[in-house]
Amino acid sequence: MADTQRVAIVGGTGYAGAELLRLLAGHPEAEVVAVTSRGDAGTPVAEAYPQLRGVIDLEFSVPEAATFADCDVVFFATPHAAAMHDVPALLAAGKRVIDLSADFRLRDPALWARWYGVAHACPELIERAVYGLPELNRKAIAGADLVACPGCYPTAVVLGFKPLIDAGLVDVSTLVADAKTGVSGAGKSLKPGFLFAEMNESFKAYGVDGHRHLPEIRQVLGDLARGDVGLTFVPHLVPMIRGIHATLYAQLADRVDLQAVFERAYADEPFVDVLDAGATPETRHVRASNMCRIAVHRPGDGDTAVVLSVIDNLVKGAAGQAVQCFNLMIGAPETRALAAPGPLP
């Protein structure tokens, strides 16, 4: 068993923070010693998240140096452009940082500034950050002191396209990712469009002309393809809380047994499950779980590959992936605290 780590969560009032608390509550090598929230300092965590009554006995605290003094690992579950202000001091103090926000995902600070509307506060650290997708970077994550966890859409889309691109099977200039998400990815944002009365019994696309996850996906797929990729990415909002379903389309350059390609690609991955030929994953099959379930189809035996990839945006798309990285970093089994199946129905 790895040494127990003293852990802090910055920005614990959001959904990713709550999910981190749920997962870490069952982690034998993690002791959560601080959960910060400027706005709610002094409030018991279990008042904000009554499901944690009797489980988490902490109050939200102010995020300041003293809070983190005796921590080993700090998770950031903050909105973008927050972590980058605190990370330099934490690294300097020898802490390891797992950032669930967008601050260290893009390698190009200019590109980051364009999409996030503000200059990056510590561009010199970006290169030090390891992109926290274990299926790509397992070894680097284990040795990292700064991990940039992927966005939820990128996780679902990249895991879906990866075997096709790795095997050189598709035309990477005309990729299409039609993605659908539950609303919890937006966090607790008080925007009219996220009200129940505006969302139930309705479905819509958004961000068609540009979504912040687009450059991230392009960067990662471009790495896989060793060159630029042409990707059309259209996100949609589903009247549900959790879950992402990415439907991916690619023109096949070659006719091979796609099922075998996918099964081989993910044979050893604990959190990628390739379904049997012909199956279709449902987002509830991964609810509250760290699994990504994938099916690959070639409709009508034609030239188009269709990949269906589902994750829980708050788990494999956020908190679960962060715990998976944490496990790698501390030398614990990769599935620690992540093995329990989710409830269904």
Shortest Cβ distance from residue 234 to its own copies (Å)? 6
What is the sign of the dihedral through the CA atoms of 84, 31, 29 and 69? positive
In whole angstroms, what is the distance from residue 306 CA to residue 260 CA? 15
Give one word for 251, left, alpha or beta, with left for phi > 0 and alpha for psi -120 to 50: beta
Active-site residue (options: 122, 152, 292, 325): 152
- DSSP class of residue 170 equals B
The least distance separating its own copies from the CB of residue 120, rounded to whole angstroms, comes to: 23
Q: Which of 28/299 has CB closer to its own copies?
A: 299
Closer to its own copies by CB, 30 or 122: give it. 30
Cβ 138 to its own copies shortest distance, Å: 19
Is the CB of 167 or the CB of 234 nearer to its own copies?
A: 234
Nearer to its own copies, 120 or 293 (CB): 293
Which DSSP string do the residues of 49-89 spell out, in sequence order?
-GGGTTT---BEE---HHHHTT-SEEEE-PPTTTHHHHHHH
Is the N-terminal amide bond of 50 cis, ω within 30° of 0?
Answer: no
Nearby residues of 67 by Cβ (< 8 Å), 6 or more positions away: 8, 34, 36, 61
Phi, psi (5° rounding) for residue 299? -55, 135
**In contact, 90 and 323? CB cutoff 8 Å:** no
- Give catalytic status of residue 152 as yes or no: yes
Nearer residue to its own copies within complex by CB, 146 or 275: 275
* Tokens (6 digits) for 125: 């650290």
Nearest distance from C-beta of residue 57 to its own copies, angstroms:
13
Q: How far is the CB of 171 from its own copies (least distance, A)?
A: 10
Query: d(Cα 323, Cα 243) in Å, to the nearest integer?
Result: 18
**Residues recognised as catalytic:** 152
